[in-house]
Structure 1
Amino acid sequence: MIFIVLIALVVLVLFLPSWWAGAVLRRHSVERQDYPGTGGEFARHLLDRYGMGHVKVEVTDRGDHYDPRDKAVRLSPAYLDGRSLTAVTVAAHEVGHAIQDHKGYGPLAWRSRLVGMAQGAEKLGAGLMMFAPVLLLATRAPAGGLIMFLAGMMSFGAAALVHLVTLPVELDASYRRAMPILASGYLPKQDLAPARRILTACAFTYVAASLASMLNLWRWLAILRR
Structure 2
Amino acid sequence: MLECRDLQFHYDRADPGETPDFDFSLRLAPGECLAVQGPSGCGKSTLLSLIAGFLEPAAGWLGWSGEPWRDLPPWQRPLTTVFQENNLFEHLPVWANVGLGLAPDLRLDAAAHRRIRAGLTTIGLDGLHDRLPEALSGGQRQRVALLRALLRERPLLLLDEPFSGLDADNRRALWGQVREQRERGVAVLLVSHDSEDIRALADRRYQLDDGRLVDATAI
Query: Could you state the TM-score of these two structures normalised by the residue count of structure 1?
Result: 0.29
Query: Could you state the TM-score of these two structures normalised by the residue count of structure 2?
Result: 0.30
Q: Which has the higher contact order (CA 8 A, sep 6+)?
A: 2
Query: By percentage of residues, which structure has more strand?
Result: 2
